[in-house]
Structure 1
Amino acid sequence: MSIDVLPAAPPERPVVSESRRRFAGFLWAALSVCIFSGWFVVTRFSVTHELRIWDIMALRFGIGGVLLLPFLVGRKAALPRGAWREGLLFAVLWGAPFVFLVGLGLQLTSAAQASAISPALMPVFAGLLAWPALREAPGRWRLTGYLVIVIGLAALVIGNARIHGWPDPYGIALLVGAGLTWAIYTLLFRSSGLTSLQAGALICFWSAVIYVPLYLWFGLSRLGSASLPELAFQLIYQGVLMSVVATIAFNRAVTLLGAAAATAIIALLPVIVTTLAVPVLGEIPSWLGGIAVVVIAAGVFMAARPAPADPSSSRSAIQSEN
């Protein structure tokens, strides 16, 4: 009669699915990082040449809104009224206003600074906001990571100031604001009932509905002054890769890995962007700026590292189940 212990075997299945889930999450996160990294360089190039941030926003959300609209309308895609309101809030946090903050910040600073400040501060803001809002108190490891990030950011600003002069404080403030809105969005999306595709589609829809008419009404377009190859490239990168692929990839990473692990992968952004900015934009960092980028990335990894599970507690839980 003691053979009744056999039903304890099934728990092995979740272990396999958990490992596959995390692997898929890392793949989605890596895809989003690759596209985000190129976006800082591509957008910096455009806003300092023919196009303006207004054009970047119109291409990104106008094209993205059209491509993702079928996922919001129709019988199968029908969303409750509350989801549309939630999507509007997401669009305010990570839609057109976010792109405006980063784009203008890029125009006033550099690709390396923008990619370091906004993505690096995002997990700091997320951790500090989750403390009172979600009762998730950060441990010593994360608090140390936050401190390392702040030190790295200060070193980055000082290092670049020696070569390019002190950055525009208004540009820095815009990038800090972008990191804050990104953090709030990440926390809210994690607890929302929307899928990655639905959240991305709603962000593009609301951004397009609110922004594109204003863009056309006030005659902000400079698309005619850009060359056809640049326009086609921006249309694909901003409208397809950023609005559709990167947004869905980041949302999937947050869903599969959690906000902390997903933001850890984003820590690679400053390193990749700084590397790309050298041949594409001619932005050569100082030795102090280069070290600061690595320090910031290390600090974000520390801050976003999930709390280790207590092996004794997990062992006792398994024993109690048996």
Structure 2
Amino acid sequence: MTGLLWAALTVTIFSGWFVVTRFSVTRELGIWDIAALRFGIGALILSPALFGKGRTLPRAAWGEGFVFALLWGLPFVLLVALGIQLTSAGRAASVAPTLMPVFAGLIGWAMFRQRPISSRFTGYAAIVAGLAGLLAIDPGGDGLRTMAGFAALAAAAGMWAIYTLLFSRSGRTPMQAAALICLWSSALLLPLYLGLGVSRFAQASAGEIALQAGYQGVLMSSVAVITFNRAVSLLGAGAATAIIALVPAGASLLAVPLLGEMPSPTETATIALIIAGVVLASRPTPKPAAPAIARTEGSPQ
């Protein structure tokens, strides 16, 4: 139950992220500005987890953190932001979080010989069917632009899945992983951000910068990463990633009052199918029963 509560909080924050990011990347701020706020502020907030008294990490942990940053740091955020910009908040939310548990299950099976239980295969099939339904309904816009957006989101989903599997075996705490991702991502971003001259802060209003600083820099870079990592630690990678597939439902609900996007009855039905798949895919793997030890007369009690 504790793991489910952590996952629910993560779903809420992630759902709002697609809506809030879509709000800005189609208006005043750019993709690079979103990344700068997310990782720059996150690095400032989380650095005490790495540099506090008595918290020196081994060298191997820094290398591990660099891999985490490549998978769920700067490249991930840039791909998702691009997908949101090229499609829409609702459609972006229906791709990356939905495909991620499917990738996690299949990659975990291929790499670590962790065969999903049969109900998870059924759940994966329902998730993919629901995703196909969402993408087939009024895709809108230029075909090449839309497909490029979907490809960016699918790549981000695969990277997220690999990160989840690696983190669950890393031995790092949720706070350490979040801090390493933000620090390494900031180090990767800074020379690109300054060298390319892509900042649009001068064109953005103070209110929009404050909104994105709070959501990207505090909620997404710090709170959501910690809550998601905590859910993975308690539920396991397969169950935690499957629950994250509820994000399309949350994003669709938030998009109604915030963006004025009302899902059609067909979209609602496909989202319900995804939720059903999530319920099946998030069932925990049964633990093998401990072998019974037969006692013989005179054996120690």
Range into which the TM-score falls when normalised by the shorter chain: over 0.9
Aligned mates of 1:98, 1:61 — CA distance in 2: 12
| Counterpart selection for 1:263 from 241, 260, 263 | 241
In the alignment, which residue of structure 1 is the partner of 2:56? 78
1:114-165 CA-to-partner distances (Å, cap 9, x unmatched) read 111111111100110111211111232111222212211111011133x667
Aligned mates of 2:208, 2:23 — CA distance in 1: 10
Change (3 A) 1:150 1:264: closer
Q: Confirm whether residue 202 of structure 1 aligns to residue 176 of structure 2.
A: no
In the alignment, which residue of structure 2 is the partner of 1:275? 253
Matched residue SS, 1:231: helix
In the alignment, which residue of structure 2 is the partner of 1:214? 192
In 2, are the aligned partners of 1:159 and 1:287 still within 8 Å (CA)? no
**Alignment size in residue pairs:** 296
Identity across the alignment (%) = 56
Aligned mates of 1:278, 1:126 — CA distance in 2: 30
In the alignment, which residue of structure 1 is the partner of 2:273? 295
Deviation at 1:228, TM superposition (A): 0.7
Deviation at 1:75, TM superposition (A): 4.3
In 1, are the aligned partners of 2:255 and 2:262 still within 8 Å (CA)? yes
| Counterpart selection for 2:37 from 59, 83, 86 | 59
The gaps in structure 1 that reach 5 residues or longer are 1-22
Change (3 A) 1:65 1:71: same
Aligned mates of 2:248, 2:142 — CA distance in 1: 20
Two-structure CA RMSD over aligned residues (Å) = 2.0
Deviation at 1:74, TM superposition (A): 4.5
- Look up the equivalent residue of 1:230 and give its one-letter code: E
| Counterpart selection for 1:237 from 197, 209, 215 | 215
| Counterpart selection for 2:284 from 300, 306, 320 | 306
Matched residue SS, 1:50: coil
Matched residue SS, 1:150: helix
Q: TM-score, normalised by structure 1?
A: 0.86
Q: Rg bigger for which structure?
A: 1
Aligned mates of 2:292, 2:193 — CA distance in 1: 58
Aligned mates of 2:220, 2:104 — CA distance in 1: 22
Aligned mates of 1:270, 1:82 — CA distance in 2: 36
Q: Would you identify which runs of 4 or more consecutive aligned residues in structure 1 move more than 3 Å? A: 163-167, 316-322
1:150-209 CA-to-partner distances (Å, cap 9, x unmatched) read 211111011133x66767100001111111000000000000011111000000000001
Write 1 or 2 for the structure with the bigger share of helix. 1
In the alignment, which residue of structure 2 is the partner of 1:127? 105
Aligned mates of 2:177, 2:97 — CA distance in 1: 20
In 2, are the aligned partners of 1:120 and 1:297 still within 8 Å (CA)? no
Matched residue SS, 1:77: coil
- Look up the equivalent residue of 2:80 and give its one-letter code: V
